[in-house]
């Protein structure tokens, strides 16, 4: 973390905390990482969850813009970010959901505005469907859910599984992915690349990625999206080259109660490219 240079990155990294979360998934509590800012004021807190092979640092530019308005959390999903990977050997969407619910029970304990980016959007939808009393509203940032999960699940057998994840560890490969995710490629700075790769040093990063990919991820979710009952804000980068833009309209047509907002001059990560516009749209959406 000493390599971080952007003030928002440094601020968020310095704010990372760890809680021991008891779950039915393991005999011992799971060390789970998060940041929390803002003041508890009786309003629904904002809880943000990141995308595939990412971490809570994904919200480093959005988190400080929201925390003056609401208590704002960013949480590492089980098996991702800086969350422990050693206690739960088989990582599935069900395990991720149960861990997040246990975290909510022990740390938050009141209905929340759940924000999910990319794969985190699919995780947020899955969570809201299973635990509707825990979620007051949803915010989806260029969300997965309709799109199929990683195709490399078919090759996650030894020794190809090790090769595939080693490929994802390669700095040049990760840089190419980042360049594709951003509309403004000048934002792929050394600080941004550091934030995107810090979690690779955690124990069993490779094993966690393999077991999740072999689970087929959230490919089951598309037929359930029309069952979401919470008001939902769909924010979508107008130049998204990772998921494209068609799924934004699919969400708008399928979710029973939603508002679609296009984020201009933004690719797959509007919360990093246009955090002020994203924060403004979210603040307007937050009041009951």
- pLDDT tens track for 138-196: 999 999 999 766 555 444 445 455 666 777 788 888 899 999 999 999 999 999 999 99
Query: pLDDT of 227-254, one tens digit each?
Result: 999 999 999 999 999 999 999 999 999 9
Domain count, the chain: 1
Can you tell me the distance from the alpha carbon of 142 to that of 270, in angstroms, rounded to the nearest whole number?
A: 8
Q: What's the token pair of residue 184?
A: 């403004």
More confident residue, 216 or 229: 229
Question: Is residue 1 a part of any domain in this protein?
Answer: no
Question: Is residue 112 a part of any domain in this protein?
Answer: yes
Structural domain harbouring 193: 7-285
Question: Is residue 2 a part of any domain in this protein?
Answer: no
pLDDT at 162: 64
pLDDT at 100: 98
Q: What are the phi and psi torsion angles at 274 (to 5°)?
A: -130, 60
Instruction: Return the CATH number at 177.
Output: 3.40.50.1820
More confident residue, 36 or 164: 36
Spatial CB neighbours of 18, under 8 Å, sequence gap ≥ 6 = 31, 32, 33, 34, 82
Strands (E) located in 46-176: 46-49, 72-75, 112-117, 135-141
Confidence class of residue 93 from pLDDT cuts 50, 70 and 90? very high
Q: What's the token pair of residue 275?
A: 């955090």
pLDDT over 90 percentage in the chain:
83
pLDDT at 163: 60
Query: pLDDT of 110-124, one tens digit each?
Result: 999 999 999 999 999
Q: Are 227 and 128 in contact (CB under 8 A)?
A: no
Question: Is residue 201 a part of any domain in this protein?
Answer: yes
Q: What angle do CA 173, 50, 231 make, to 5 degrees?
A: 140
Strand partners, 17: 34
Question: Is residue 229 a part of any domain in this protein?
Answer: yes
Query: pLDDT of 41-88, one tens digit each?
Result: 889 999 999 999 999 999 999 999 999 999 999 999 999 999 999 999
């Amino acid at each position: 973390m000493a390599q971080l240079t952007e003030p928002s990155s440094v601020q968020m990294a310095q704010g990372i905390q760890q809680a021991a979360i008891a779950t039915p998934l393991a005999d011992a509590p799971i060390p789970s990482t998060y940041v929390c800012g803002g003041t508890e004021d009786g309003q629904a807190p904002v809880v943000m969850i990141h995308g595939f092979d990412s971490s809570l640092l994904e919200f480093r530019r959005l988190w400080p813009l929201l925390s003056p308005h609401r208590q704002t959390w960013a949480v590492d999903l089980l098996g991702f970010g800086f969350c422990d990977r050693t206690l739960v050997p088989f990582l599935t969407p069900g395990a991720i959901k149960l861990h997040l619910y246990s975290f909510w029970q022990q740390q938050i304990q009141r209905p929340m505005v759940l924000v999910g980016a990319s794969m985190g959007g699919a995780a947020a939808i899955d969570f809201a469907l299973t635990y509707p009393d825990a979620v007051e509203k949803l915010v989806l940032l260029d969300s997965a859910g309709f799109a199929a999960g990683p195709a490399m699940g078919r090759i996650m057998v030894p020794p190809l599984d090790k090769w595939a994840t080693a490929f994802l560890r390669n700095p040049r490969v990760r840089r190419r992915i980042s360049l594709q995710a951003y509309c403004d490629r000048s934002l792929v700075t050394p600080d941004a690349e550091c934030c995107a790769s810090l979690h690779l040093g955690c124990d069993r990063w490779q094993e966690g990625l393999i077991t999740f990919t072999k689970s087929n991820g959230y490919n089951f979710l598309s037929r359930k999206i029309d069952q979401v009952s919470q008001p939902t804000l769909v924010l979508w980068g107008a130049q998204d080259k990772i998921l494209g833009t068609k799924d934004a309209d699919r969400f708008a047509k399928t979710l029973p109660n939603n508002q679609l907002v296009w984020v201009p001059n933004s690719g797959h990560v509007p919360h990093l490219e246009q955090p002020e516009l994203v924060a403004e749209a979210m603040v307007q959406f937050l009041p009951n």
